[in-house]
Structures are given as C-alpha cells and as structure tokens.
C-alpha cells in the first residue's frame, strides 16, 4: 500500500496546517455526472455497491475529472441491512423501502449481528482496489444508529420521523435494544473498512436533526460514544455528520468524533465556536447554491472560507449531498474557489 | 361582541401574569378526534374550510371536549391560493399539490393580489360565527411568505425544499418579487381576519428551517418585518411559528412578532434566552410524546413547564401539529398537567 500523495484532507481532520483548504463533496460520485448516469442506466444501485470493480470505478469517476482532496467509497447507507437480514428495496427518487418495518420486540430480535468480512466481502474488496488506484485519501462510511433506526422504524424516508420518535418515547426499552444492535453493527462495519484500508470514516446521521438535545443526550449519545471509543484506537479520523443539527452541535462534539460535519442551516463560524475550535469542522455550502450562477457559487464559497478564517481544521464540503441538477462546471468553479481562495491564508 | 371570559392566552401573549399557563394545540381540530374524522368522511377538506357553518363547527369540536385556552380558526395554509388564481388540490396524506409550480417571471406575474372580503368572504363569516360562540380567544392564521413560496415553487411538500432555495440563489430578483406579492397578500389576509374578530394571529412558517440565518436575514426578514409592522397598529398579538428554526431564533425575534413559536428540537429555556425573555414564547412538546403513555406525557410536559420557570409569557403548545394517531385521553392528560402543574408558580 503506497501512501497517498495528497494528505491535505487527513491533515485538516487532525487540525494540522495545510497549504490550501481540502475539499470533497458528499455524493461526489452521483447523478450530476453524465458518466455516472450512463453507468446507472446499465446497473441498479445495489449492483454498483456490491460489485468491487464497479464500486471502485464509480468512486473514481469524480476524481478523474476534478482535483478533489478525498475519495469516498461508493456505497449506500442501506448496505449493512444486507448483512442484518432486513429485506428492502431502493426506490428511485424515494430511497430505501423496508419490507417489514421494525416496530416490535420480535422485529428487533430478528436483526442479525453482522460479520462484515463474511457477509459483505465486496466492501473490503472495493477498498483494496481503490487504495491501489488513489492518490488522495479514501473515506469509508456508515449510517449512524439513529439514521439507520429511522429507516428501519419508519420503513423508509419520512418528512419528520415522528414514528421513530414515538417509538423512542413509548418503548424506551425496545429503542435502546435497537440502538445497541445498530451501534455494534456500525462499529464492526467501520472497523472492517478501516482494516481494509479506509483512511478516514464518516458516520452519516442525516436525520438526527429530528431530535432535541435532551433526547439526543439521553438515548443516543452513549451509543455514539461507544462506537467512536471502539474505533479511536485504530488512529483513523472519524467524521460525524448530520443535517438540521443546529441545536445538537455541542452534544455531537461530546461523542468524541474528530470532525463534525455541519449542514448549511448554521453559520460555519458560529457552529465552529459551539463545536470547539480544537476540533475540525466539515462544511457547509448549501447544495442549492450549486444550481445558481458560477459567480454566486464563487461568492458563497468565499463567504464560507472567510468564516473559517484560515484556521487549521476546516474541510470544505457541501451541507448535504450534491443535487442531481448541479451543472458540472459549477463543481469545477467551487473546487478552484476553495483551493485558490484559501491559499493565502493556509 | 362579548369579551371572552378566559383571557389567559391573550395575557400570556403580552407577557402579563396569568393564573395558570394557557395551552392550545396546533391542529387541535384534527384527525385524532373521532368527531372530526366523521365530519371529514362527509366533507372534503376545502369544503370544511370554505363553508362558514362547517368551519365554525370544526373549530369548536376540540373546545367542546377539552379546557383549551384558545381556539384557532379551522382553515388551511392553501386557502389564500384560492384568491391568487393558483390552481391546486389537497392530496390525502401528502398535502397541497400545485398544478403549475411557480418558476418563471410569468408564473409570478400571474399571482393575483387578493381582496379577502371579496375573494374569501367565508373566512370573515366563520370568524363572526365563532366570536358569538366562543368563551376563549380566537386565533386567525396564515402561512408565512417563505412557506407559501416553498409550496408554490416546489409544487407541494418536499423533504428539503432545495428547489425553492435554488430559485432564491439563482433568481434573487424573481424570489424578491414572489416574496413581495406573498407578503402583501398575507398582510391583507390577516388584517381582514383581525377586522372580522380574530383576537390573535399566527404566521405559520413551517418550512423556514430550510434556510440559514444569513439567507433569512437577507431575503426574508424585510418581508416579515413589513407584514408585522402593518398589523401591529391593530393591537392584536402576532405569533410567529416555524419548525427546525434552531439557528434562526434571534432573526425571527427581529421580525417584531409578539410571540415566537418554537418546535421540539430546541430546549425551551435556551430558546427563550435567545429570543429574549421580554418576548413571549409558545411551545414546545414533541408531538411524538403524545403517542406514548400518559405518564410520559405528564413527565415530558412537566419538564417544559420547569424550563419555562413560571415566567410570564409562556403559552404551552406542541412543537408542531398534533399527530393523527394521538389517543384522545393523552390530550386530556396534557391539558390537566399544564393547568395543574403551573398553578403554584403562576
């Protein structure tokens, strides 16, 4: 395994100084790229995720076109469900649809503890291919327990995740059991990704913003701390990202994650103060900005760099996944703006 | 017009002392009530809204069963669209579906400025009936410009309102024009409700949490201020409610609203500090708590009363509309808890 030549991203994760601010984009391998759309015409989503050569190829697509400072393994939040005996389908333009949502003790007891190497060998295989090809660090990832539980309990994406919150309040015992199973599986899954060669991991807690800080601290924080404490000894930076987390930032920092990913709903400077500037931050351009003119992309990205103030520990990203309608040219404009606009301060 | 006998709610709106904390519930006339479901079997939603006797009857349903401290006119956020030449349907379990979403200058120019008395006479008629029947204050309401614009631009409810944000960034001129038309219509609509007898009004900005504070202050705050400044001389308390607003609370207070409504994602005590304790606050029990046991409803409601600390200016409410699956018994438990738990401190 050769060391990556570009280590800006890993240095920023550790709050070390960098020449220019590193940038990668959530869903950087995605529908905004014509090459990706072409591949998706021939292969369903899960086939791309579970076939090492294809997953590696998709992961590399955006790297071939743009000077991104990190790659993220092409996969899906639902992949661990394949190892947990949870039947589901991925519905186009909707997301995962869980065949039998988890709502009873029996449903929870049916969830299997996974053996990632045995159950999902394609993940490690994809990572090993990618480490041979890449000259930037490779990020592995998993959904965080709340977000996985949200899918399992709701049966799919939801507007306000009220059913999962109702379960949390009405069946605290079942809720804890569900979180325990998910936390253990997430730990195993990320550990196996790191062992295969992932140089950083991101926990996606996309829907955790449905909770308030009291509920978060009471029911979720212990599980998150357990995952992060188990992975910490491996020495790999851990990014913890959520959306709608304006009231949760302090609690998210208490998990011990190295980097907190924030969405566009908060101002980066204020968010960083609340997280603590000894910890790295990732974010946070509104993905909707990427549908506007190149000039707007430039000025909004510059505003975020200004808020970061050239301080060590900023990883530039969007506040959530890149939108499918994003013009490819704007991605180039964004990356150039970040690299050029941050050089003088770095 | 006789004065209402119970003025706790209005006193709390003005931060005056009260005997016990007033409580009402968003969607208190709704599907959790068997009487309501029965009415809805015979009448489509918009028929209930546009027929004064029916709208008044539905408004009164929860008041007949519970000791609520305010009534809210039964209506829908989309009713003003009837006066703006915006064809739409209300799709069961989805929400409004706009026939031709607003995305171009022509679309915006086609939106009509309304004459509420002429275009929506049933609203004033409903209010006049209710003022004769009610012994608690009557709240009128309208969607706030962002939330109405979100429906118009997206074409209906959305998970992240990225299209409306994309329009905001890519066509700031069109976005301002759209907000101007909506702000003027909202002002006219609420003024006519107050003139007909509404004793307070609530601006529902249900989806404003999709914005960050910079975008809010730049594009939305002026329109919100204009609406509130125009209504202020009428002397009627103005409540401004949104969800997912943890990063927007200070900016929302800058609109000049008398009461800020907060959802469950923030802690009431922290939110009140940020809003400013000279201003009243409304909220903020997680509606999902209402699906748990009566004991949980009681203890979670008591926690909110504790956070309010018996300070003048707290109106108890849920953090968003009551969920259809809520057991009727829990509503009774909640109201009793609020009235009994706040008496000693009031």
**Portion of chain A with pLDDT greater than 90, in percent:** 95
Rounded average pLDDT over A322-333:
98
**Across the interface, do A209 and B244 touch by the CB < 8 Å criterion?**
yes
What is the ipTM, given to two decimal places?
0.94
Rounded average pLDDT over A113-123:
98
Strand partners, B200: B139
What chain B residue is nearest to A287 in terms of C-alpha separation? B162
- Is some CB atom of chain A closer than 8 A to the CB atom of B302? no
Closest partner residue to B169 (CB to CB) among A166, A270, A291 is A291
Interface of B with A in 221-260 (CB under 8 A): 244, 246-247
Partners of A214 on chain B (C-beta within 8 Å) are 267, 303
- Is some CB atom of chain A closer than 8 A to the CB atom of B95? no
pLDDT at B319: 98
Domains belonging to chain B, first-starting first, are 8-89+119-140+187-205+226-341 (3.20.20.210)
- Cα gap B224→B238, rounded to integer Å: 12
pLDDT at B334: 98
What chain A residue is nearest to B163 in terms of C-alpha separation? A288
One DSSP character per residue, B98-159 reads: ESS---SHHHHHTPPPP-HHHH-HHHHHHHHHHHHH-SS-EEEEEE-HHHHHHHHHHSS--S
- Is some CB atom of chain B closer than 8 A to the CB atom of A293? yes
- Is some CB atom of chain A closer than 8 A to the CB atom of B39? no
**Across the interface, do A265 and B288 touch by the CB < 8 Å criterion?**
no
Closest partner residue to B169 (CB to CB) among A170, A265, A292 is A292
User: Measured between CA atoms, how close is A304 to chain B, in angstroms?
Assistant: 11
Phi-psi region of A189 (alpha: psi -120 to 50; beta: other; left: phi over 0): alpha
CB atoms within 10 A of CB A92: 9
Task: Assess whether pLDDT exceeds 50 at residue A277.
Answer: yes
Mind listing the pLDDT tens digit for each residue in A45-54?
999 999 999 9
Closest partner residue to B291 (CB to CB) among A170, A246, A323 is A170
Q: Write the burial class of residue A206 (CB in 10 Å: 0-12 exposed, 13-18 middle, 19+ buried).
A: buried
What average pLDDT does the structure give for chain A?
Answer: 96
**Across the interface, do B286 and A213 touch by the CB < 8 Å criterion?**
no
Interface of B with A in 135-164 (CB under 8 A): 157, 159-160, 162-163
What chain B residue is nearest to A296 in terms of C-alpha separation? B169
Strand partners, B283: B316
What does the DSSP 8-state code read for residue A323?
A: P
Mind listing the pLDDT tens digit for each residue in A247-271?
999 999 999 999 999 999 999 999 9
The two structure tokens encoding residue B157:
């409810």
| Residues of A assigned a catalytic role | 27, 31, 40, 76, 151
**Across the interface, do B265 and A244 touch by the CB < 8 Å criterion?**
yes
Confidence of residue A307 (pLDDT cuts 50, 70, 90): very high
Closest partner residue to B165 (CB to CB) among A215, A247, A288 is A288
A43 sits in which H/E element? none
One digit per residue, the tens of pLDDT, for chain B of length 346 reads 455 589 999 999 999 999 999 999 999 999 999 999 999 999 999 999 999 999 999 999 999 999 999 999 999 999 999 999 999 999 988 899 999 999 999 999 999 999 999 999 999 999 999 999 999 999 999 999 999 999 999 999 888 899 999 999 999 999 999 999 999 999 999 999 999 999 999 999 999 999 999 999 999 999 999 999 999 999 999 999 999 999 999 999 999 999 999 999 999 999 999 999 999 999 999 999 999 999 999 999 999 999 999 999 999 999 999 999 999 999 999 999 999 988 654 3
Partners of A252 on chain B (C-beta within 8 Å) are none
User: Measured between CA atoms, how close is A77 to chain B, in angstroms?
Assistant: 18
One DSSP character per residue, A142-170 reads: EE-HHHHHHHHHHSS--SS-HHHHHHHHH
| Residues of B assigned a catalytic role | 27, 31, 40, 76, 151
Q: Give the E-state strand segments of chain B in sequence order.
A: 71-72, 88-91, 95-98, 138-143, 200-205, 238-242, 259-261, 280-285, 314-318
Task: Assess whether pLDDT exceeds 90 at residue A226.
Answer: yes
Q: Which residues contact A329 (CB under 8 A, 6 or more apart)?
A: A294
Confidence of residue A157 (pLDDT cuts 50, 70, 90): confident
Exposed e or buried b per residue across B7-36, where buried means at least 16 C-beta atoms within 10 angstroms of its C-beta = bbbbbbbebeebebbbbbbbbbbbebbeeb
- Is some CB atom of chain A closer than 8 A to the CB atom of B287? yes
- Cα gap A285→B163, rounded to integer Å: 15
């Amino acid at each position: 395994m050769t060391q990556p030549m570009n280590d800006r991203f890993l240095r920023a994760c550790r709050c070390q100084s960098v020449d220019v601010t590193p940038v990668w984009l959530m869903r950087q391998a995605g529908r905004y790229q014509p090459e990706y759309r072409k591949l998706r015409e021939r292969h369903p989503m899960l086939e791309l995720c579970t076939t090492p050569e294809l997953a590696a190829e998709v992961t590399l697509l955006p790297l071939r076109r743009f000077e991104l400072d990190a790659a993220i393994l092409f996969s899906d939040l639902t992949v661990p469900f394949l190892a947990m005996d949870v039947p589901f389908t991925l519905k186009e333009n909707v997301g995962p649809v869980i065949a039998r949502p988890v709502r009873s003790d029996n449903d929870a007891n049916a969830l299997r503890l996974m053996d990632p190497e045995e159950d999902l060998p394609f993940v490690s295989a994809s990572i090993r291919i990618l480490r041979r090809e890449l000259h930037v660090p490779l990020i592995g990832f998993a959904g965080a327990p709340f977000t996985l539980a949200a899918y399992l309990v709701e049966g799919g994406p939801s507007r306000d995740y009220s059913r999962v919150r109702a379960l949390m309040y009405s069946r605290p015992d079942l809720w804890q059991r569900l979180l325990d199973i998910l936390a253990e599986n997430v730990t195993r899954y990320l550990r196996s990704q790191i062992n295969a060669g992932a140089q950083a991991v991101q926990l996606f807690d996309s829907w955790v913003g449905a909770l308030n800080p009291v509920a978060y601290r009471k029911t979720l924080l212990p599980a998150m701390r357990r995952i992060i404490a188990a992975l910490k000894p491996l020495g790999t930076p851990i990014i913890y990202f959520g959306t709608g987390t304006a009231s949760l930032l302090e609690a998210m920092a208490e998990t011990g994650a190295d980097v907190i990913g924030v969405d566009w709903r908060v101002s980066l400077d204020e968010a960083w103060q609340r997280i603590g500037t000894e910890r790295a931050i990732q974010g946070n351009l509104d993905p909707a900005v990427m549908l506007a003119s190149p000039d707007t992309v430039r000025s909004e990205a510059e505003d975020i760099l200004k808020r970061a103030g050239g301080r060590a520990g900023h990883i530039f990203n969007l506040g959530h996944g890149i939108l499918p309608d994003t013009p490819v040219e704007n991605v180039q404009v964004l990356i150039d703006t970040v690299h050029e606009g941050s050089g003088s301060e770095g």
